[in-house]
Structure 1
Amino acid sequence: MTDRELFARLIQCEAGGEGDNGMKAVASVVMNRVVVPYGEYARVGQGSIRKIILQPGQFVCASETERGRYNPQNIYNMSPEQIHFDIADWATAGNRLMNLGEALWFYNPFSPNCRANFPSSIGYFVTRIGDHCFYNPTSAYADT
């Protein structure tokens, strides 16, 4: 599987039901992690989409098991369509959603409210798009 296909599968899996902006937001987070010049993602990813997506514990969709059980909604069970490839290409070309800033994290709270910080104190809330809350890094992220 190419990096492009892996990226398209992740976009479909994580945000396929969130519309174009939801999928672009997830793609933006992935690429923000790929290019951030400091902290954990700079060390782990080293500019690699594949390393960022497959880093353990980061994306539920990149895992075939969650909490010891099979996770049927994973990238290996996805069949990306042209829109998913187009959004992967859009993000890889350097495009980002403007209201996201430098967001490095997102999650679905399964409630109407987003936490102020995620994960813990290294990310602060920026915006909500669809079901997902997005978070920029605080200065504490540099020490990760």
Structure 2
Amino acid sequence: MAFSDVELLARTILCEAGGEGDTGMKAVATVIMNRATVGYGEYGRVNNGLRDVLYQPGQFDCLRETIGGRYNPQNIYNMRPEQIHYDIANWAIAGNKIGTVAFSLWYYNPFSPNCRPNFPSDVGFFVIRIGNHCFYNPTEAYAQT
């Protein structure tokens, strides 16, 4: 059975940022929806909405059942979202954003106290760290990707 967009996003929010509190989960949801609505660059060309963004190869480990040939137990199929995850998914789908990441297209967990200044390569610049995730806005170079 295929997941609805709300279910898919709620499971992704839980999987990607479930331990990051409301602000961290909303920030991740903001980035995902930014990718689904950006009209230029790589994401603007490859997507026709939320599903295309989430299932774009190599973007979200939680959407992969295997990584490096090994089973990935932390995937959306193993997630059991609670009401907060659905609320945040609906909040994001309605067009709401966390202001500090309102234009961010990337986030990642560096598993260290430091966020790198550019990500990926030089098409994104660091804006803020929320919980364990570093968030990045696009540079002008992103439009050429």
Q: Corresponding residue for 2:29?
A: 27
Q: Deviations over 1:4-60 (max 9, x none)?
A: 1000000000000000000000000001001111011111112x1111111110011
Letter of the 1:106 partner, please give it.
Y
Equivalence for 1:36: 38
> How far is the alpha carbon of 1:101 from its aligned partner?
3.3
Distance 2:64 2:46 in 1: 17
User: Which residue matches 1:73?
Assistant: 74
Matched, 1:136 2:143: no
TM-score (norm 1): 0.97
Q: Could you say which residue in structure 2 is the equivalent of 1:116?
A: 117
Structure 2 CA distance, aligned partners of 1:69 and 1:113? 29
Q: Give the Cα–Cα distance (whole angstroms) in 2 for the partners of residues 98 and 24 of structure 1.
A: 10
CA distance in 2, matches of 1:68, 1:126: 34
CA distance in 2, matches of 1:127, 1:20: 16
Match of 1:8 in 2: 10
Q: SS at 1:116's partner residue?
A: coil
Provide Cα deviations, 1:68-124, integer angstroms capped at 9, x if missing partner.
Answer: 211100011111111001000111111100111300000000000000001111110
Answer whether contact 2:30 2:102 (CA < 8 A) is retained.
no
Q: Which consecutive residues of structure 2, in runs of 5 or more, have no partner in the other structure?
A: none
- Report how many residues are paired: 143
> Aligned Cα RMSD in Å?
0.7
The CA distance in 1 between the partners of 2:117 and 2:139, in whole Å, is 12
Match of 1:104 in 2: 105
Say which SS state the counterpart of residue 45 (structure 2) adopts: helix
Unaligned stretches of 5+ in structure 1? none
